[in-house]
Structure 1
């Protein structure tokens, strides 16, 4: 069976920058499954998967326009330090900020006595990325999966807290690993850091999932539709 719209693909992959640095990969013995054609993968990855079958291993390169987009300068802002209140902030910390499109993650890039520079771009925005993908399985989606609009792992809906990449963001992460999940950033410049949630270890909780935004660490880039 080939990967087409409304099939469920289970994949493993490694993602590297043009200099060979690994910036994303699935965890050992933990491939991700996704319902194809329903917006849970970045555009370039989903297109590259089409017509492949179980056992295929292949490599391809994605430009920013087909992955995480170009860097949007409107999402890099300088704000008043007072908006962070008494938080003991540091470069690399991530906050959840309010925007016109809902909560979004912003990472602190620079701190002065009275100003803070924050960046709402996806950590891999603006990068050309190399993917090495292995197709572990392909199957028809069930009627329930099509109705729910996402894949079910081992017959369980992810709302039951079973492992699956449906919905785009599910992977454990340790030692500074980051799960970027193939998402797209919001193209808006109307966001504020007041009201954001701070995690001192650089971790943030966004849309119910945890991420690390340390640019020097490795990322877990499963699949994913949106980055907030």
Structure 2
């Protein structure tokens, strides 16, 4: 079966930066990535590269910053009040996920100076060229519940969704 919209794809990947350093490896977590093709579950550049591929395909994809996490925007580096953070101990490099206008965003603490905290709300990989090695493990039709939710469901959740729809 080929990768196309409305299909669930399971794959392993290795993500490297420009210098070849491994940033993420699905095998290191022993859990492959599963996504619903055509539903913005992964970056558009990766979806385009995977479109039409079949189970067993192996490919390398390079994404420029504009096709990945975007270009860095220095306007997203700003100073905020220390009071915006409820935790007592803030250190540079700490990251938090917060709600944003366009969905969740990652906030990175850059510096802490008394009652002022300098933060960066660019994605940590913004401005970087990313290199992916992909291995397609399986491709299947999405079930109705997955299409409604817009993402793959675990086997247990999908089964319960089907059970809930049965008429007594």
What interval of TM-score do these two structures reach, taking the shorter chain for normalisation?
Answer: 0.7 to 0.9
* 1:40-75 Cα deviation digits (max 9, x unpaired): 111111111111100011101000111100112222
Find the counterpart in structure 1 of residue 45 from structure 2.
44
- Distance change in 2, residues 1:5/1:84 (3 Å): closer
For the residues of structure 1 that align with 2:143 and 2:97, how far apart are their CA atoms? 35
1:1-228 → structure 2 map (5 Å cutoff): 1-28=1-28, 29-84=30-85, 87-97=88-98, 99-101=100-102, 104-154=105-155, 156-157=157-158
Shift of the alpha carbon at 1:38? 0.6
For the residues of structure 2 that align with 1:36 and 1:76, how far apart are their CA atoms? 33
Shift of the alpha carbon at 1:104? 3.3
Shift of the alpha carbon at 1:99? 4.3
Shift of the alpha carbon at 1:147? 2.5
Q: Secondary structure at the match of 2:45?
A: helix
Q: Which moved more, 1:100-109 or 1:57-66?
A: 100-109
TM-score (norm 1): 0.63
Find the counterpart in structure 2 of residue 209 from structure 1.
none
Which has the larger helix fraction? 2
Shift of the alpha carbon at 1:139? 1.0
For the residues of structure 2 that align with 1:86 and 1:53, how far apart are their CA atoms? 48
> In 2, are the aligned partners of 1:3 and 1:49 still within 8 Å (CA)?
yes
Q: Secondary structure at the match of 1:146?
A: helix
For the residues of structure 1 that align with 2:157 and 2:99, how far apart are their CA atoms? 33
For the residues of structure 2 that align with 1:20 and 1:90, how far apart are their CA atoms? 28
* 1:147-194 Cα deviation digits (max 9, x unpaired): 33221233534x99xxxxxxxxxxxxxxxxxxxxxxxxxxxxxxxxxx
TM-score (norm 2): 0.83
Q: Which moved more, 1:139-148 or 1:56-65?
A: 139-148
Root-mean-square deviation over aligned CA pairs: 2.4
